[in-house]
Amino acid sequence: MALEDASHQIIADLLESRTGQSLGESRRWRISSALSGLFREFGIDNVDQLACLLERPGEHRLATRVVEALLNNETYFFRDHAYFATLANTVLPELQRKRADKKKITIWSAGCSTGQEVLSLAMTFAEQPGRWQDWTIEILGTDVSGKAVEQARSGVYSQFEIQRGISVAQMLNFFTETPKGWKVVERVQKMTRFEQQNILDFPPTPGKFDLVLCRNVLLYFDPDTRRQAFERLASATASDGMLMLGAGETVVGQTDRFEPASCGSAMYVHKAANSVASALGGAVSKVA
């Protein structure tokens, strides 16, 4: 193995051990460009020199920074508008019907990056104050990137970030301009909470979440790791809860814990719900 190949493998192994993401041959082209800032900071020219630095004892902080630089934190408000329309018009009304007794909905955004997806969900609720009056809405966002979670907790976004995905009316209604950027208003932010967590860890609260979003995260896992991730997602989802994946992701052929829902190509239902419904249906048929 050439020196450069060995160095790329060290970086790929580091990313996989920290996050579960597989940096295959087809994605290794981006290593040097993603790490160029670290090259300049440390006065080095290439990935081989960086690999040598990582091999030194006590370089845990550098390893963390390498992982952070390699993570794809691309996101924006209301990413894939059609998906949020499905949530607002179909999924959330159904959850409202199911949870009418306790008037509480709990959502987990796994792989939330810098928080735009979580805040988009909160804005969806805030845009219908009459429908959700007296309801408790809790939206948890988690991400493996500590840097991304730090920004998400701040709720502050640059002019460029704030213009991606939301209208001027939404910007003025839900954000306030400050010297540091546009900050989300309290009535939206209070619905949200952010934690640093790997999706492959045990879920934050097993069996609690009515809706789980995990969009464009599983794409970077190998098949075995993806199956493990689905187990974690299923463990976190309520027995009658739902899962939303990204456009290029599916449960079909990947897991038996979820199956496609009827309300949209991105939506999946916890299989336990259908199993119970089928059993009840069979019992009713026998009595009849």
Is the pLDDT at 103 greater than 50? The verdict is yes
85, 55: one domain: no
Domain co-membership, 191 together with 271: yes
Residue 147 located in a structural domain: yes
CA atoms within 13 A on the CB side of 280: 6
Residue at which a domain ends, from 27, 47, 70? 70
Q: At what angle do helices 47-54 and 60-70 cross, to 10 degrees?
A: 140
Give yes or no: residues 43 and 161 share one domain: no
pLDDT in tens, 22-73: 887 767 778 888 899 999 999 998 999 999 999 888 778 899 999 999 998 8
Pair (94, 223) in one structural domain: yes
Indicate if 114 and 65 belong to the same structural domain.
Answer: no
| 199 plus 160 within the same structural domain | yes
User: What is the spatial distance between Cα 112 and Cα 155, in angstroms, rounded to a whole number?
Assistant: 13
Residue 62 shares a structural domain with residue 118: no
pLDDT, average across residues 88-93: 96
In a domain, 287, yes or no: no
Looking at the structure, tell me whether residues 137 and 209 fall in a common domain: yes
pLDDT in tens, 187-240: 999 999 999 999 999 888 878 999 999 999 999 899 999 999 999 999 999 999
Is residue 148 situated within a structural domain?
yes
- Flag whether 76 is in a domain: no
Confidence at 106, pLDDT banded by 50, 70, 90: very high
What pLDDT was estimated at residue 1?
A: 44
- Residue where a domain terminates, one of 70, 92, 110: 70
Q: How much is the pLDDT for 4?
A: 64
Domain range spanning residue 198?
81-276
Short-list 9, 134, 113, 37, CA closest to 71: 113
Q: Is residue 282 included in any domain, yes or no?
A: no
Q: Residue 66 maps to which CATH number?
A: 1.10.155
Position 2 scores a pLDDT of: 52
283 in any annotated domain: no
Residue 91 lies in a domain: yes
Lowest-pLDDT choice from 118-122, 179-183, 188-192, 267-271: 267-271
The number of distinct structural domains making up the chain is 2
**Statement to judge: residues 188 and 118 lie in one domain:** yes
- For residue 144, the model assigns a pLDDT of 95
Q: Of 70, 91, 108, which residue sits at a domain end?
A: 70
Whole-number Å distance between alpha carbons of 268 and 211: 10
Say yes or no: 118 and 205 in one domain: yes
SS3 for 2-54 is CHHHHHHHHHHHHHHHHHCCCCCHHHCCHHHHHCHHHHHHHCCCCHHHHHHHH
Residue 94: which CATH number? 3.40.50.150
Tell whether 29 and 136 lie within a shared domain.
Answer: no
**Residues 47, 187 share a domain:** no
Q: What is the pLDDT of residue 284?
A: 35
Q: What is the mean pLDDT of the chain?
A: 89
Which pLDDT score, from 0 to 100, does residue 8 have?
87
Integer Cα distance of 233 and 229 in angstroms = 6
In a domain, 286, yes or no: no
Determine the pLDDT at residue 287: 35
The predicted pLDDT at position 3 comes to 55
